Each structure stands twice: as structure tokens, then as C-alpha cells.
Amino acid sequence: MRNITITTLTKEKMEEVSPILIAYERYMENIGGPNWGYEHFMKELPRKWELSFLMTQPLQEIIGYAIVSERDSRYHVHRPFLLPQYRFSHTRFLTKTLLHRAKESGLAEMSWITADKITGCEALQRFADKQQYLGNWDNANFFYMSKRLNPAS
């Protein structure tokens, strides 16, 4: 997608942008969504600072982010998020970015918490169900799951 920059969300970058992300979370809470605070964004998780990322537009406006870590040898998406005004036009881009980064992570599986209309997990579920991007990856050995539909044992 033109003019979108993907930046790895290092711990230092998270310190810098956490007030903006928390403001986005508060906005989502006002329309009935879940809410994350500073402690959620700064929590140490395996490979979190390597796998999480920001989506920005020109002038560094943050339009979305994904908080990702390694959990049980899976590329685990804790928090995909797009601002509401970008959901229609950028959900596919966010999903493709997550899938591409999952492949690049070297992990064999991908998981996420729940399909959530507020943060955009429902798009992950749709794409995973269709397995729309598997054919584009040579020797891709990815298994998609949603804990909402297929709880981990």
C-alpha cells in the first residue's frame, strides 16, 4: 500500500509512542471495545520487541499497530489494531503484513486471541479461513488458528 511505513515496535519506540496507543485504546473503550494500558504495552514477552510493529502514514501518523510475541512456538498476535477510518481500506494490508511477518519469523504456526470487531481480528479469521495467501508462499507450512474457535489444549 502506498505511503504506509511498517516500523518494528522496539521497546524504545514503544516508550515513545505508548501515550498515542493508550489514547487510541481509550477511544475504543468509549465505543465499547477492550482497553489496554501502559502496563499491557510494556509487558515483556518472548520476541515481542522483534515481532510487533507500527503502521504509519506520511508525517508519521500512526494508523495501526500489532502487538505480537512468540507463544508456545507460535507467532501469536495479541493486539492487531487499525483506526476506524482506515479499517475498510487497510485491513487487507495489515493482514498481509501480519502473515508476511509470521512467515519471516521462522515460526511454524500463527495464533491470535479472539475475533474482535474492535481491533480487527475478524479479518484475520476471514483470511485464515480462506487461506487466501498460502498459495503465494513457497513451502509455507503455516497453520492458522483462533483460540475463539479452536482453544489450545
**pLDDT tens per residue across span 86-131:** 877 887 788 888 888 888 888 877 777 654 444 455 555 555 555 4
- pLDDT at residue 143 is higher than 80: no
Confidence (pTM): 0.76
Torsion of CA 40, 123, 86, 24, to 10 degrees: -20
What does the pLDDT read at residue 128?
A: 54
Beta sheet of 61-71, edge-to-edge order? 5-8, 53-57, 61-71, 74-82, 109-112, 143-146
Which residues have C-beta within 8 Å of that of residue 24, sequence separation ≥ 6?
A: 62, 81, 83
pLDDT tens for each residue of 17-44: 999 999 888 877 655 556 788 999 999 9
The answer to whether 102 and 69 have CB atoms below 8 angstroms apart is no
User: Are the C-beta atoms of 142 and 102 separated by less than 8 Å?
Assistant: yes
Whether the CB-CB separation of 46 and 71 falls below 8 Å is answered with yes
For the chain, the average pLDDT equals 74
Rounded distance, CA 52 to CA 101, Å?
A: 9
